[in-house]
A and B are shown apart, each in its own frame.
Chain A
Amino acid sequence: MKLTKLAAVAAVALTAASPALADLVFPSMSYRTGAFAAGGIPFADGYQDYFTLLNERDGGIGGEKISVPECETGYNTEKGVECYESLKGLNPLILQPLSTGITYQLIPKVTADGIPLHTMGYGRTSAANGKVFKWVFNYPGNYWDAASIMVKHALEQEGGSLEGKSIVLLYHNSAYGKEPIRTLEELSKKHGFKLTLIPVDSPGQEQKSQWLQIRREKPDYVFFWGWGVMNQVAVQEAANIRFPMDHFVGVWWSGAEPDVLPAGEGANGYKSANFTGTGKDYPIFADIQKYVVDTGKAAGDGTSLGQVQYNRGMYAAMLAAEAARKAQELSGVKAINAAQMRDGMEALQVTAARMAELGMPNFGPEVNVTCANHGGAGVGLIQQWDAGAKKWVAITDYISSDRSVIDPLIAEDSAAYAKENNITPRDCK
């Protein structure tokens, strides 16, 4: 009897839950709780604040208001399913799950349901092949780009050769952490370095044995694929064994303020890849302060503005908004639907001039998406943590990845996916 009563309440709550559907819907699949919240919160705040800014300052995109319904996934695939099903009913234009595990689950679903999926710098790398993955995008870069960029940086530091050197890949033992292995194995053949794989089980709070192994093997470099609480622990452990921090390089999900601050001085010199600008020295932050933070409409408390993950969330929102603008232009309709949004994403071009116009000069790489290439340019830079000044400093220019290694791998992996799922690759003109 209790259960039937609960079910009745549930039914009422569910029917009351769907808001008006007049707006452009950009859902935020966020995680503000759990072991990965350190990265999830600022990203979600940045994503939401940018759309709030567009609503407050410009009245939305092309005069259409934006709504950003949020759903808490907790970085958990079961909650991800629940979120997907509840958001699907709101006619979303684009989904960004910020989790490689959830991405793998959603790729077949969004393809069947016709909802664009943008996995910016994460997810399934071979989704860069637009011929096979019609509804999935991962511009401006993917994990294999990151791996190649990190190797290139090591090459540069070693004066052009990694022959006989050793690199340890310390990774989150999940789809996310395993993604770069293929590329690193290819690159180790090409450049002659020895690759050692050391997995860390999720969530990664316990890494003593892994770092003991690193201490014993004394590798020249440690490449790091961590996320959430795992990052802080790894940086602290590296500092504890006095590993030379400038030889410890994280992927772009392992290099934000919350990752290095707990280790204090010990984190000084730690490096990571990145593809978005850091800090608040961009004109857009004045607008965000004025229209969003000062009016009390900010998603967070306003302290994360300018942090790495906040800026990245903003960049993701900017790319989505620009794609929506493009879609409005292409279709001639203001209230676009998901299919028109997909066309907009496929024709998306964000030039340096356009970013400057938006108040974000040199904020991220230029993006040029085509029907065949959903992966974008694949560039990134290396940044280094300055513990004294408490900020990330970019130490290289944008480095482009080694396409001669990555492109064949993408072709091979996407062909395998197409075969498994009976997909005939599209013709792209």
Chain B
Amino acid sequence: MLYREAGDYKTTYTEDSQTFPIKLDRIGYYSVLIIAFLVVPFVINDYWANAVLVPFLIYAIAVLGLNILVGYCGQLSLGTGGFMAVGAYACYKLMTGFPDLNIFFCVILAGFVTAAVGMLFGLPSLRIKGFYLAVATLAAQFFLVWLFNKVPWFYNYSASGQISSPERTLGGIAITGPHTEAWAKYLFCLVFVFLLAWLARNLTRGNLGRSWMAIRDMDIAAEIIGVNPLKAKLTAFGVSSFFIGVAGALFFAVYLGAAEVGEAFGIQKSFLILFMVIIGGLGSIFGSFAGAAFLVLLPVLLKNVLVGGLGWQTDIAAHLEFVIVGGLIITFLILEPHGLAQLWRIIKEKLRLWPFPH
């Protein structure tokens, strides 16, 4: 009933291989875009931007990035926090070193710097796999955090080791700094999310994405059919780190405004983003958004319901939050080990037949 596919014929190959082959999905996708770009900016307030939507969008970018590496190329990484820190510090150095440089390019360049660092730390992946690679990337995480703590050049010799983002504008509108309007912050992040999600989708269904997936599924077989593992693995590390670097730069410059490497980009961040990938679903663009939404929005929602709505004490609410979020993660993973994306896929299959399953 919901999905009426009768009469929805595909007459060209392009039509047949589009991202949303079902008409209703397509309508849904375009209406989400219209709402996100044309409605939300007019109704958004500071709370919704800073506490809900901006962190969601930024985490979505990071999860997309890690999903490319873990979900599409099968290379397990625990260095996400460290790579986000690279993005953040690169953005900070660019912002303070070149005050006239447009913030948009600062973020993009920070992404490229992170891509280079990511490829460097991706080199061990040519020799080691699986858990051993996870440990090598864990080393990257600890090394990078240590580096940004140890070398004062990275934080411009400030007394406290904090980096804080100065005000930068885009076409006269503040994007970073305290005077930023909620809608500007939101739209800036949304544009990045849109562009990068589009890029990720098209990379993963093209030649490059297919070579990543071949490596993921069986690297020896992939090599025999002519996939170059060096190229595939390093591009996966590069593209993934680019996404994560952009996320780190936005996380520091637009969302937090000031950051301290150990606290903002510690090992917990690596785990958090990996959990988002796993809960959302490995190797799925939709799953990246679903996973980020689950772990960003749910705690905020619970806090508002328990403390704001029911008037409970903050400590009880905070502890219950751990219990509920943890319980839901376990429940979801037992119900559907392949994550929210697979859950959605099954629901969609059922909806296509509903209400006449036979």
Contacts and interface: CB of A to CB of B under 8 A. Distances in A.
Are these two chains actual partners, yes or no?
yes
Interface of A: 1, 3, 6-7, 9-10, 13-14, 16-17, 30, 32-33, 37, 41, 70-72, 74, 76-78, 81-82, 84-86, 88-89, 100-101, 104-105, 108-109, 111-113, 124-125, 173-175, 178-179, 181-182, 199, 201-202, 413, 420-421
Contacts of B258: 77, 104-105, 108
A108 B166 CA distance: 10
Contacts of B50: 81-82, 84-85
24 contacts: A9-B301, A13-B308, A16-B308, A41-B315, A71-B314, A72-B317, A77-B258, A77-B264, A81-B51, A85-B51, A86-B47, A86-B51, A88-B47, A101-B162, A101-B263, A105-B258, A108-B258, A109-B257, A174-B262, A174-B263, A182-B159, A202-B262, A202-B263, A420-B166
Interface string B248-280: 000000011111101110100000000000000
Given A81-B50, A82-B300, A413-B159, A174 B260 contact: yes
B161 interface: yes
Would you list the 10 A-B pairs with minimal beta carbon distance, nearest first?
A17-B308, A32-B315, A112-B178, A175-B160, A108-B178, A72-B314, A82-B51, A13-B304, A85-B47, A105-B258
B315 A33 contact: yes
Contact of A9 (B161, B305, B318, B347): B305
B177 interface: yes
B260 A101 contact: yes
Contacts of B262: 173-174, 201-202
| Most chain A beta-carbon contacts within 10 A, residue among B149, B161, B263, B303 | B263
Nearest to B347: A1
A81 B256 contact: yes
Interface of chain A: mostly helix, strand, loop or mixed = helix
Interface in B54-92: 55
B127 interface: no
Interface in B151-191: 159-162, 164, 166-167, 177-179
B345 to A, nearest CB: 14
Contacts of B159: 125, 178-179, 181-182, 413
B98 to A, nearest CB: 15
Which of A10, A74, A113 has its CB near the most chain B CB atoms (within 10 A)? A10
Interface string B271-308: 00000000000000000001001000110110111011
Nearest to B257: A105
Contacts of A16: 308-309
A421 B166 contact: yes
| Residue of A32, A175, A181 contacting most chain B CB atoms (<10 Å) | A175
Contact of B256 (A3, A9, A78, A100): A78
Given A78-B55, A113-B178, 20 more contacts: A3-B290, A10-B304, A10-B305, A16-B308, A37-B315, A71-B307, A72-B303, A72-B314, A77-B256, A77-B259, A78-B256, A82-B50, A105-B257, A108-B258, A112-B178, A112-B179, A124-B160, A174-B263, A175-B160, A175-B162
Contacts of A201: 262
B139 to A, nearest CB: 15
Nearest to A10: B301
A75 to B, nearest CB: 9
Nearest to B164: A104
Contacts of B290: 3
A71 B307 CA distance: 9
Contacts of A32: 314-315, 318
A396 B262 CA distance: 36
Contacts of A84: 50
B358 interface: no
B315 A72 contact: yes
B46 interface: yes
A225 B49 CA distance: 35
Contact of B178 (A10, A13, A111): A111
B246 to A, nearest CB: 18
Contacts of A13: 301, 304-305, 308-309
A329 B285 CA distance: 60
B10 interface: no
A41 B318 CA distance: 13
Nearest to A70: B314
A71 B166 CA distance: 27
Contacts of A181: 159
Contacts of A85: 46-47, 50-51
B54 to A, nearest CB: 9
A132 to B, nearest CB: 15
Given A89-B47, A105-B258, A421-B166, A17 B304 contact: yes
A173 B314 contact: no
Contact of A30 (B160, B256, B303, B314): B314
A105 B297 contact: no
A316 to B, nearest CB: 18
B304 A81 contact: no
